[in-house]
Structure 1
Amino acid sequence: MQWEDYRQSENVEDRRGGGTYAGLPGGRGGVGIGTMVVLGLVGWALGIDPRLLIGGAELIGGIGGRSAPTQETRQSSGPPSDEMGRFVSAVLAQNEDVWTKVLPQQANTRYQAPRLVLFSGVDRSGCGTAQAAMGPFYCPPDKKVYLDLSFFQEMQRKLGGGGDFAYAYVIGHEVGHHIQNLIGILPKANQLRERSSERDANAISVRIELQADCFAGVWANNIQAMGRIDQSDVDEAMKTAAAIGDDKLQKASQGVVVPDSFTHGSSAQRTRWFTTGLRSGSMQSCDTFRTNQL
């Protein structure tokens, strides 16, 4: 993936409190939260309680009943200067440039760029406490994406999904939730989930997540047209989408697969909907709410 010569987004808030990440994931990235991040990989992919990550409910306490550690927040001014921070900033800028063009053309809606918050361990968000154990998430009330970069390192080590475009896909997926918020789908879907049974709420969450995957594919279609990615990059994203399917993670963590508990979609569904957006470049192809076959 070509990103080094791309502009840097001004919409990154760097709140990392302890050091910077010297390179792309693959080296050390520990901030004493490795176990929490591993749990976060499963929580993010399985959506243990998707209302915490999407619906804006406040997170109470920590994982497994343990209280979350506290951390002093430090916010830098301007785009990050370390390599991984610059990578995230460039990917966010690519999303801004694509959606500034695509959203008015395809949805008759002006694009309002979200801010992306880089944090380490624990931080505050408009949805309550942000923790590394939650994985990357989009918070509708403050229209921000929250990301602890150690997630990428653990994603590579524990799930086998890695590479710069794989990480860019994760960011594109969270920006996809912001697109859903801008066009009014996310608020309506969340309201419907609140009135539904657990099984039905899970099914709605799957449709939300698969549409965000598809929107990430629409973004990828556009940067592919710019010559910024090639087939090997696409393969990275597909491998990652497959690695974080509900069925694969449930099989690995509990030995059985329970489709009614899916909240993000199976490996096949996630790769299918990302591919749908990638091939079409059309938001209209991403209507996961009007199809019976996901």
Structure 2
Amino acid sequence: MKWQGRRESGNVEDRRGMGGKTLVGGGIGGVIVIVIVLLLGGNPASLLGGMDSGTATQTAGNYQGTEQEEQLADFVSVVLADTEDVWGDVFKQQGLTYTDPTLVIYSGSVQSACGTASSAVGPFYCPGDQKLYIDLSFYDELKQQFQAPGDFAMAYVVAHEVGHHVQNLLGTMEKIEPYRQKLSEKEFNTHYQVRLELQADYYAGVWAHYEQGKNLLEQGDLDEALTAASAVGDDTIQQKAQGYVVPDSFTHGTSEQRKRWFNKGFESGTIAGGDTFSVSDSNL
């Protein structure tokens, strides 16, 4: 992706070297469960005890990132700026106003309006404060643990989380949240959570569609995004984590579904084509 020397977003909070009050997860088993549920945009409130309006005591440290980490921080800031431009235009075409989200870069653990999370949860979006949270070490996880290298793989991650922000602004999250209490976990995940995640993948594809139109994509970028989408499918993650797959516990969709919905958004470039909630289970 062509990004050096381009506009960086002003909506970035750098909290590296600062920590939240507590960490979530109990041992390696807890970490695996959290990663499966939250990786790339799950609902932190479901595991972090709901919304937390309190403010954590944070202590700033003399944090010094590596040269690669500082370059990555600049990169995600450029990607965020691009999402601001794209979604600002798309919303305007719909007669709507887009409100920019804030990207929080942190290390180790972080406090959000959804509670306190460790980097084990992976990148996530919190609707309570309209912020997306990313520990930059996730770039290495994508490359090493998920075999999804490349800068555009990380760009896909940012674009997916921004996709959740789009859902929040459009009222999608608010509409489905009541069903979380009315349905069993299995029913909610099947009928709502998975579709929410696939729609965020679709919106990430919409963003990539406009990036290509601006001649910002380089050879191999789309493949990197599709590889990342495939790598974080529920079936792939569960197979690696526990050696078998439990479809009833899926929260994000299969690798094939995630790739397909991202690609649909990339080909369409419109909000209208991403109504995952009206698609039958067999066609999802």
Whether the TM-score (by the shorter chain) exceeds 0.5 is yes
Percent of residue pairs bearing the same amino acid type: 48
> What one-letter code is carried by the residue in structure 1 that aligns with 2:171?
G
> 2: distance between equivalents of 1:215 and 1:111?
14
Q: Distance in 2 between matches of 1:124 and 1:271?
A: 31
Which residue, out of 244, 248, 254, partners 1:266?
A: 254
Q: Structure 1-normalised TM-score? A: 0.82
Question: Which residue does 1:15 correspond to in 2?
Answer: 15
Letter in 2 for 1:153: D
Report the 3-state secondary structure (helix = DSSP H, G, I; strand = E; otherwise coil) of the residue aligned with 2:117: strand
1:123-134 equivalences in 2 (<5 Å) = 123-134=110-121
Cα displacement string for residues 236-280 of structure 1 (whole angstroms, at most 9, x for unaligned residues)? 000111111111111122222111111000000000000000001
Whether the aligned pair in 2 keeps the contact of 1:277 and 1:285 (CA below 8 Å) is yes
Shift in CA distance, 260/175, structure 1 to aligned 2, threshold 3 Å:
same
- The answer to whether 1:225 aligns with 2:225 is no
Structure 2 distance, partners of 1:239, 1:42, is 22
How far apart in 2 are the matches of 1:178 and 1:89?
16
Q: Kindly report which structure 2 residues correspond to 1:53-68, keeping only aligned pairs within 5 A, or say none.
A: 53-54=42-43, 56-57=45-46, 59=48
Match of 2:122 in 1: 135
In structure 2, give the amino acid aligned to 1:14.
D
Distance 1:288 1:124 in 2: 31
Query: Any conservation in 2 of the 1:37–1:150 contact (CA below 8 Å)?
Result: no
Q: What corresponds to 1:4 in structure 2?
A: 4
Structure 1 unmatched ranges of 5 or more: 19-35, 61-69
**1:75 positional shift:** 10
Report the counterpart of residue 273 of structure 2 in structure 1. 285
CA distance in 1, matches of 2:152, 2:264: 17
Displacement, 1:38? 11
Query: Out of 42, 61, 82, which is 2:70 matched to?
Result: 82
How far apart are the structure 2 equivalents of 1:237 and 1:49? 15
CA offset digits 1:1-41 (Å, max 9, x no partner) = 011122010000001018xxxxxxxxxxxxxxxxx999868
* Greater Cα offset, 160-169 or 249-258: 249-258
Contact 2:86 2:210 in 1 (8 A): yes
**Structure 1 residues 119 and 214: CA distance shift in structure 2, 3 A:** same
Q: Which ranges of structure 2 fall in alignment gaps of 5 or more residues?
A: 19-26, 50-56, 64-68
Which one is further off, 124-133 or 168-177? 124-133
In structure 1, C-alpha distance between the alignment counterparts of 2:221 and 2:29, rounded to whole Å: 24
Measured in 1, the distance between the counterparts of 2:123 and 2:62 equals 18
Q: Is the 8 A contact 1:16 1:75 kept in 2?
A: no
How far apart in 1 are the matches of 2:149 and 2:33? Answer: 16
Of 148, 160, 172, the match for 1:161: 148
Distance across 2 between alignment mates of 1:6 and 1:42: 38
Q: Amino acid of the residue matched to residue 78 of structure 2?
A: A
Residues 197 and 129 from structure 1, CA distance in 2 versus in 1: closer, same or farther, beyond 3 angstroms? same
Q: Which moved more, 1:255-264 or 1:112-121?
A: 255-264
Alignment of 1:99-248 (within 5 A): 99-106=87-94, 108-203=95-190, 204-248=192-236
Aligned pair count reads 261
Q: Rate the CA distance shift 1:89–1:179 in 2: closer, same or farther, 3 A.
A: same
Calculate the aligned-residue CA RMSD, in Å: 2.6
Partner of 1:23: none
Distance in 2 between residues matched to 1:249 and 1:129, nearest whole Å = 24
